[in-house]
Structure formats: C-alpha cells, structure tokens
C-alpha cells in the first residue's frame, strides 16, 4: 500500500528552531507527508546531520544557520533557503526557549531575551514570509505557542507572557487574513519531551513523547486548523482555571509555586 496523499505533497515548509525537539521531529514528519523542508536554527552541525538523515531517507531538505534574534542573519538564511527550495508555502515559527526564574535566581535581561526569541523571532519570520503569501494569495503561518499562554505560571513570567503574546498576535492575523488565502495555525502544546523539558525538575503531568506531538501537529497543520491545544486533560484544567475568579485562580497558582 502506498503513502496516502497529503495536502503537503510537493509543498515547501520552512521551520525555525529545527535543530532539535519539536522542530526536528516535525521536519521529519512533514517530509514523510511529501513536503520539502527548509531547516533553520543556530547549530550548524545538527542541521547538517538532520538534512543528511532526511536525504538518506529519500526526502528533500536544505538548511541554513541563523539566530532568530538577528534580523540580518535571519533574512539572509531565509533567502538562502528560498534560493535552494523556492518560496515557502508554509512557515513554522518554532524557535523558542525557557528559563524559569524565581526571586532567588532572577537576572535582569533574561525576560527580554526570552521575548526576543519566542515572540520577536516569530514576528521577524512573519514579516519576511507574509508579503509573498499575500502576493500569491496563498500560504500558511504556523506558530508553536504553549498552553502556558493561557495563565501566568509561577516562575515562568517571561515564558507565559511571550507565548500569550504569540497566541494573541496569531489570532489577530488569522481573523485579518481569512479572506486573503493565508491560513494561520496556532499550536498550544502542554508538556512535550524536548531539551527544554529534559532540564525541568518539577512534575510534568500528561507529558507527550515528541513523535506523538509532531504527528498531532502535522495533522492539525494539514487541516489548516485555527487554534490547537493538547493534551486535552491539561487543556481542560487550564480552561477551568482561567474561568475562576482572579483571586481564587492566583491562590491556586501560589500553591503550585
């Protein structure tokens, strides 16, 4: 039996933060669904290895190294991928990081750095891709946000705040671009195995393996869904929490801290 047809057959997808975790796994999943992938991250060795792995398996991948915080380097890398693969049909803003901060380990500048990567890195990618999408009347923007975007988690002010800004920014774009042929998909995962979660010491309920999460994400992208949350158990807990009176919700969050 052959591979099923996919909406991503012969489409080109550019992914930031593609050197590990969700980004690397999503690249391999989309290639299995017929896409060509442009891989972008800072770590050249990992990008090179991933592109070689994809090529060995019969897929098409190109890579370019850049930091999403560096405007000029990011544009140069995206243009290099475009030169090799053609203009993207889909861009995935996946580059992100987290560094939980308590009052004991607070360091000025850390929050700005997180916002620069998580939020402004996405906006730089959109600024580059959206004019081409609008000119063609087709395209898809995908942002990897988080369930943490729905509530200010203890010791995660910058992470929750930057992911909330991502989610709202993408929601506004989704409404604005609906009649222009450009889909906007916001992915809000809970805990997913990655380099980030491997460093975390606190409990992570309902954590998904990376491959399971990326299969779910890829299917949501194919269906051009709007806002996607998973796992459902954690999403339901947060749905209840955000609907509680503010003082009660904050009392629960303090107990979590």
> What pLDDT does 199 receive?
66
Complete domains list, the chain, with CATH: 12-256 (3.40.50.720)
pLDDT, the chain, mean? 93
- CA dihedral angle for residue 186, residue 191, residue 192, residue 194, rounded to 10 degrees: 110
pLDDT tens figures, 134-182: 999 999 999 999 999 999 988 899 999 999 999 999 999 999 999 999 9
Distance CA 122, CA 130 (A): 12
Average pLDDT over residues 220-247: 93
Closest CA to 184 of 231, 221, 232, 145: 221
Q: How confident is the model at residue 200 (pLDDT cuts 50, 70, 90)?
A: low
Distance CA 105, CA 127 (A): 35
Do the Cβ atoms of 62 and 38 come closer than 8 Å? Answer: yes
Bigger pLDDT: 247 vs 223: 223
pLDDT tens figures, 64-94: 999 999 999 999 999 999 999 999 999 999 9
Neighbours of 213 (CB within 10 A): 26
Q: Annotated catalytic residue: which of 8, 159, 202, 216?
A: 159
pTM for the whole thing?
0.93
Distance CA 67, CA 170 (A): 21
Do the Cβ atoms of 39 and 50 come closer than 8 Å? Answer: yes
- Catalytic residue at 216? no
Q: Chain-centre distance of CA 110, in angstroms? A: 20
Range with lowest mean pLDDT among 99-108, 147-156, 226-235: 99-108
Supply 148's token pair: 């943490």
Name the helix (H) or strand (E) containing 52: helix 44-56
């Amino acid at each position: 039996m052959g591979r099923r047809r996919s909406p991503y057959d012969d489409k080109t997808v550019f992914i930031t933060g593609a050197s590990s975790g969700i980004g690397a796994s999503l690249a391999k999943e989309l290639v299995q669904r017929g896409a060509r992938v442009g891989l972008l991250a800072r770590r050249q060795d990992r990008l090179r290895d991933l592109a070689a792995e994809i090529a060995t398996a019969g897929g098409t991948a190109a890579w370019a190294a850049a930091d999403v915080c560096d405007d000029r380097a990011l544009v140069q890398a995206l243009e290099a991928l475009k030169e090799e693969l053609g203009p993207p049909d889909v861009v995935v803003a996946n580059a992100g990081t987290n560094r939980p901060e308590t009052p004991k380990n607070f360091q000025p500048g850390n929050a700005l750095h997180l916002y620069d990567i998580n939020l402004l890195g996405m906006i730089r990618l959109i600024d580059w891709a959206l004019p081409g999408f609008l000119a063609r009347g087709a395209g898809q923007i995908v942002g990897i946000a988080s369930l943490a975007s729905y509530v200010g988690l203890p010791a995660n002010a910058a992470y929750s705040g930057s992911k909330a800004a991502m989610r709202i920014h993408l929601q506004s774009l989704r409404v604005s671009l609906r009649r222009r042929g450009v889909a906007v998909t916001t992915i809000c995962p809970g805990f997913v195995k990655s380099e980030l979660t491997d460093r975390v010491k606190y409990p992570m309920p309902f954590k998904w393996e990376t491959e399971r999460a990326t299969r779910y994400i890829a299917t949501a992208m194919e269906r051009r869904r709007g806002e996607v949350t998973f796992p459902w158990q954690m999403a339901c807990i947060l749905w209840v929490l955000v609907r509680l009176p503010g003082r009660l919700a904050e009392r629960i969050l303090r107990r979590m801290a």
